Amino acid sequence: MVTARGSTKEDSHRVQSAILYSPFFLKHQAPNYHPENPQRLEAILEAFKKSAFSKNIETIEPKPASKEQIALNHSVKYIEELESFCKAGGGYLDDTYANEYSYISAALAAGAGINTVDMIIDNKISKGFCLVRPPGHHAEHDKAMGFCLFNNAAITAKYALSKGFKKILLLDFDAHHGNGTQNSFYYTDQVLYISYHQWPHYPGTGSAEEKGEGDGLDYTINIPLETGSGNKEFLELFDKIVQPAADKYQPDLIIVSGGFDSHKDDPLAQLNLTDDG
Amino acid sequence: MLAEKIKQMADKYACGRLIFFLEGGYNLNTIGSSFIFTLTGLAG
């Protein structure tokens, strides 16, 4: 069960944050040039190593998620087909590639989130930063999509719910709509999914009219942004939409799907967020 | 900035509990500093 962290003297000495990273994340790659490549993570790691954070934030190697854990969000058929496909050397699954290392990379990426939930419950950390590939938010229940194999954030949210968390705010600021994540929680109020994204844009979903259904009605909030939207729009809409929704919901865990393609210089999107926004 | 607001929200309601996942971001010249700024806001 989840317990609120106290503020005892012991806590002040506790490591608050951890990075979760595996070298396997660099082995998942397409045969030819692809924008979703290992150099992305290498660039992040290099920046981290040069930063002051590297002195006090530990890097932890995750364990892979089990098939049962991945099946919290994906069909067993898809999981097993992907495993066989990768074992046989991989190739393209519609628009998404996989190579011989992609199954283990994807299982480790989901495992990073699961390990973080366990460490949070054990009061070892309060924040985990999962620097993972492949990404996850486009992956659907039974298929790979948009460079994503397993939906890391959705698997992690479902695992956290199974461990006693009750209300999870899942905030997605990638420039593309997280169709897979939205679909995972469209009919439930146990996860409040809020997504900022350029719209209309890939993958096509994410209009403000998509609000959830049944118990999930109003627990999906889409914030479609026009091309060129930047810091001002992100912050104003945070105060206008995200903050009031969070104040009403009072989440016991926050999961962030962080896409840095909302940056003004990203080649795959046309939003204008800058580093200080 | 956005990340600081998210951190304040985590502190206010979730005892600071937060899990960050890297999703997209395809500019190799900016992705490193974007992460460090985000980390500064969320964990700094």
SS (H, E, C) chain A: CCCCCCCCHHHHCCCCEEEECCHHHHCCCCCCCCCCCHHHHHHHHHHHHHCHHHHCCEEECCCCCCHHHHCCCCCHHHHHHHHHHHHCCCEEECCEEECCCHHHHHHHHHHHHHHHHHHHHCCCCCEEEECCCCCCCCCECCECECCECCCHHHHHHHHHHHCCCCCEEEEECCCCCCHHHHHHCCCCCCEEEEEEEECCCCCCCCCCCCCCCHHHCCCEEEEEECCCCEHHHHHHHHHHHHHHHHHHHCCCEEEEEECHHHECCCCCCCCEECCCC
Is A34 designated active site? no
**C-alpha angle A140/A144/A149, rounded to 5°?**
100
The whole-number average pLDDT for the span A255-277 is: 95
Q: Among positive and negative, which fits the CA dihedral A29, A32, A36, A41?
A: positive
Q: Which of A138, A176, A197, A201 is catalytic?
A: A138
The whole-number average pLDDT for the span A36-43 is: 98
* Residue at A71: amino acid letter: A
- Judged by CB atoms closer than 8 Å, whether chains meet at B32 and A47 is answered as yes
The whole-number average pLDDT for the span A128-157 is: 98
CA distance A178 to A257: 9
Q: Which residue is closest to B40 within chain A, CA to CA?
A: A53
Nearest residue, CB atoms, B24 vs list A117, A135, A238: A135
Mean pLDDT of chain A: 94
Query: Do residues A196 and A173 make contact, with C-beta atoms less than 8 angstroms apart?
Result: yes
Q: What's the Cα-to-Cα distance from A230 to each of A96, A109, A173, A196, rounded to whole Å?
A: 29, 29, 12, 11
Percent of chain A with pLDDT over 90: 93
- Strand-by-strand arrangement of the B18-22 sheet: A58-60, A17-20, A127-130, B18-22, A253-258, A168-172, A191-198, A220-225
Reported confidence tier of residue A7, pLDDT bands at 50, 70, 90 = very low
Task: Report chain B residues touching chain A, CB-CB < 8 A.
Answer: 1-2, 5-6, 9-10, 13-40, 42-43
Beta pairing class for A96-98 and A58-60? unpaired
The encoded tokens of residue A143 equal 């298929």
Reported confidence tier of residue A153, pLDDT bands at 50, 70, 90 = very high
Query: Do residues A152 and A109 make contact, with C-beta atoms less than 8 angstroms apart?
Result: yes
- Residue A4 forms contact with B (CB below 8 Å): yes
Return residues 38-67 of A near B (CB < 8 Å).
39-41, 43-44, 46-48, 51, 53, 57
The whole-number average pLDDT for the span A14-38 is: 93
- Judged by CB atoms closer than 8 Å, whether chains meet at A46 and B32 is answered as yes
The whole-number average pLDDT for the span A187-199 is: 98
Predicted ipTM of the assembly: 0.99
- Residue A134 forms contact with B (CB below 8 Å): no
Return residues 157-176 of A near B (CB < 8 Å).
169, 171-176
Q: What's the Cα-to-Cα distance from A198 to each of A51, A68, A124, A208, A273, rounded to whole Å?
A: 30, 34, 37, 12, 11
Q: Which residue is closest to A176 within chain B, CA to CA?
A: B24
CA distance A112 to A114: 6
CA distance B7 to B30: 22
Reported confidence tier of residue A123, pLDDT bands at 50, 70, 90 = very high
pLDDT of residue A134: 98
The encoded tokens of residue A240 equal 């206008």
- Judged by CB atoms closer than 8 Å, whether chains meet at B38 and A265 is answered as no
pLDDT over threshold 80, residue A172: yes
